[in-house]
Amino acid sequence: MDLALLEDFLELAKEMNFSRAADLRNMSQPAFSRRIRSLEDAIGTPLVQRTSRSVALTPAGLAVHSRAVPLVRLVAEARSAALEAAGVAEHALSLAATHALSFTFVPRWLTQIAGPAGIGALNMMSDSQQQCERLMLGGTVNFFVCHWHASAGGGLPENQFTHRVIGQDRLVALTAPDISGNPRWNLDAWDAKVPHLAYGSASGLSRILEAHWKMHGRPPLVPRMSSLLAATNLEMAKEGQGVAWLPLSLAETAIAAGTLVRAGGAGSDIPVEIVVFRPRSRLSAHAEQFWKKIVLIDPA
């Protein structure tokens, strides 16, 4: 069986939409549909129930899905292990990080953990939380750094992946100051509707905010715009377009410069952890050595 067909199927199972899944697999929708039917023919039963308005996995599809996720990753790991055993594996680390951390926290953290000599060749990818999780599930990367809050959960199965806390951060409600230096938009003025610079659903920060507000109540917000990039929301907040909950690690320079101020009291802050994920299965010797260095570092 062509492993790529299973990868197509996993993309469809995540998106539950043929058009979006085809785009993510860089092919036309008719070609993608034919590949899903080829997989169904190879297995001998329909895996997907199609209607004009929805897509759902059949019981057979659910059974294949639960086994295809670890299988795809194991094949990727088997290739790495074979190259290592043959002595042709490069001393390299493959790491994904969310946009909000890739330009600030991650470079400093990598230097603290190992330095250039200990890292070797670094293949680092920066993307949304959802896409980084896809890279982990497919075995494209071995480590993934993101913001984490226990109430929000994540998209990586606990029986296949583990994580370790490597830092602390806070999501802080920030806005541009007015001419007097006061917040242009004030969350404590409960009679006012505050324009909100939100995150797209593929963002891990969106998951954290929604989980927090579900437990503690949503502030009086009116959606102004939505972006996958915290850096975009930071710039829009500086322009006075609304309030954005930004990682302090990303926004501290703007706060120090006075171009962003708190839109509410400390009670609107959301403490979060910064974590690194890895698969529970064994990695290359170089990657395992890197993990040992992570374990030895106190995140406090």
Query: Which of residues 82, 113, 139 is at a domain's end?
Result: 82
CATH of the domain at 74: 1.10.10.10
The structural domain count of the chain equals 2
Residue 108 shares a structural domain with residue 254: yes
Mean pLDDT of the chain: 88
Residue 111 shares a structural domain with residue 142: yes
Residue 27 shares a structural domain with residue 155: no
Query: Which of residues 60, 82, 104 is at a domain's end?
Result: 82
Question: What mean pLDDT comes out for the span 82-91?
Answer: 62
Question: What mean pLDDT comes out for the span 259-284?
Answer: 91
Cα–Cα distance for residue pair 57/254, rounded to 1 Å = 47
Residue 279 shares a structural domain with residue 168: yes
Confidence of residue 178 (pLDDT cuts 50, 70, 90): very high
Residue bearing the bigger pLDDT, 117 or 131: 131
* Partners of residue 145 on adjacent β-strands: 97, 276
pTM of the predicted model as reported, rounded to 2 decimal places = 0.76
Residue 98 shares a structural domain with residue 139: yes
> How many helices and strands in the chain, by DSSP H and E?
12, 11
Residue 68 shares a structural domain with residue 161: no
Say whether pLDDT at 249 is over 80: yes
Confidence of residue 246 (pLDDT cuts 50, 70, 90): very high
Strand 92-98 relative to strand 143-148, pairing: parallel
Query: Which of residues 63, 82, 101 is at a domain's end?
Result: 82
What is the chain's percent helix, strand, coil content, to nearest 5? Answer: 45, 25, 30
Confidence of residue 189 (pLDDT cuts 50, 70, 90): confident
Residue 64 shares a structural domain with residue 158: no
Residues 6+ apart with CB under 8 A from 207: 129, 152, 153, 154
Confidence of residue 193 (pLDDT cuts 50, 70, 90): confident
Cα–Cα distance for residue pair 169/146, rounded to 1 Å = 11
Say whether pLDDT at 243 is over 90: yes
Confidence of residue 191 (pLDDT cuts 50, 70, 90): low
Domain of residue 161 covers: 91-300
Residue 162 shares a structural domain with residue 282: yes
